[in-house]
Chain A
């Protein structure tokens, strides 16, 4: 039996990808060990990450990425700072900040830290190498039921 498939959302274009990479670089600019968000190529995984979301949320996400990604970098940084500041506001007052955080930080962290980048010199995940992270699991034929 093959793996169940869930097709990536078709409408996520190259322009969305570039916009997401611009936002991602503000959250993860990179340093001497971690690649920047755009260097990791993580934005290309966004359609795969969003495939399980409700269609209405997929559309909202693409709009949000387009709008925020078009802002100048200092404004993106300011916006992310304001979102972080609003996270702990109680009840509905803090809801917009938390929802924006879920949408933007959620997709950026999901695509960057999932270990699917192949940007290390040996073809493995440069992000996982920087974290020194690896999960081990021996699976034998008996498990393949």
Chain B
């Protein structure tokens, strides 16, 4: 059998893979995306938490760290994490980027140089700040607490186009995929535009490994029970932190790449609920509206998330059993929730176990525990001054921002990927996703992953891409012409 040859094979269709696939396809390259998850039509996304976990996420919902102190979550669906995330899109500040520049010896990790890539990605997305008119009870408690205690807050900026919250839509549903295609996931934005430029996608394709040769890269895996192989002049791993690290390890590259799997971060999050006498209805409307914007929190290494969750997740995270559990759940509408997200500095480590499974070694060190404690104290203060009847802290932590493992940098002993996005010593194999992060930024990661994908597209194509906004205009023009 002759294998078709692609200019680029991209493994993974999330924040990194989606943006990259668009720019390479638009430049006229023959591009194939291989994605382990399935393709969904927006209106068919699951309408309940059980199916959303089982069908859109890896391992049926959560993957525990080695000591199960953190429950990690990642998307397994066309569009990756961008389908199941909250699509809060923030630029990194100089605190995060200066640290990256120092660790990686890559000078272009700075606010100005990355600014052009942020501009380009943002011009291709619909971004909206959540207005006060869309606040629910949980946001009001958050704002009230911040104001009384003298902390600075700011509205959240989200990738969304037409949520129509005033008409009664509840955005929490979109954590299982947005049926209105309002949330700016890759499945609603860059991927369909890339397909208009000829992108080919194979879903349900689990990639096991790659073989780097002098003429190209062979990618092998399985679709259902069938073993498959694809051949590309270049291959880009965009399978996310756990996915890309694992593929490189499976490919026998652990010894060649001493930094592989090191420097894993996840912004550990700790949820605290409070019960109020009156209904809070934290699940209604824009269920996240505000963020902490206090320089003291940034300096201390944490932020406070105004967040909530569906009954399944709340029931799992609330403490207590039997009578206490039932009492708290009956009062679901009276619950408020704030989460402390820690900028972690103690690196975790990814490795392959004897059974071929990925081991995720991630402990909370003294700095993370201290940061969490400080954040939790502020949360308790907020609940106290806003009249909460009862405060309950979840016993386990969560990790939603999976980062590192294939850090980008100049030195081979401390990084896996060079400044041009190629794996050290393998010019045809690249990595473009959250695994590139040299450290935890303490800021929502996905916009920066997209910006890095834009930068990677320029590195791969060897040219500066057309200025911001043109990309979307062209896609739409093509769609109209072919309609």
Contact = CB atoms under 8 A, between A and B. Distances in A.
B351 to A, nearest CB: 16
A116 interface: yes
Interface in B295-320: 310-312, 314-316, 319-320
B168 interface: yes
A114 B283 contact: no
A137 B396 contact: no
A91 interface: yes
Contacts of A22: none
Interface residues of A, number: 62
A144 B188 CA distance: 11
A4 B40 contact: yes
B330 A33 contact: yes
B42 interface: yes
A20 interface: no
A144 B39 CA distance: 13
Interface in B40-93: 40-44, 48-51, 53-55, 57-62, 64, 66-69, 71, 76
A120 interface: no
Contact of A113 (B164, B170, B315): B315
Nearest to B67: A95
A116 B61 CA distance: 18
22 contacts: A1-B41, A4-B39, A26-B321, A28-B325, A30-B326, A52-B57, A57-B60, A84-B395, A95-B68, A98-B64, A98-B396, A102-B396, A109-B312, A110-B61, A113-B311, A114-B51, A115-B49, A130-B330, A131-B333, A133-B311, A136-B170, A143-B42
Interface of A: 1-4, 6, 26-31, 33-34, 45, 48-54, 56-57, 77, 80-81, 84, 87-88, 90-92, 94-95, 98-99, 101-102, 105-106, 109-116, 127-128, 130-133, 135-139, 143-145
Given A1-B39, A57-B60, A136-B168, 13 more contacts: A6-B55, A27-B325, A50-B54, A52-B53, A52-B61, A95-B66, A102-B64, A109-B315, A110-B61, A114-B312, A131-B330, A137-B169, A143-B180
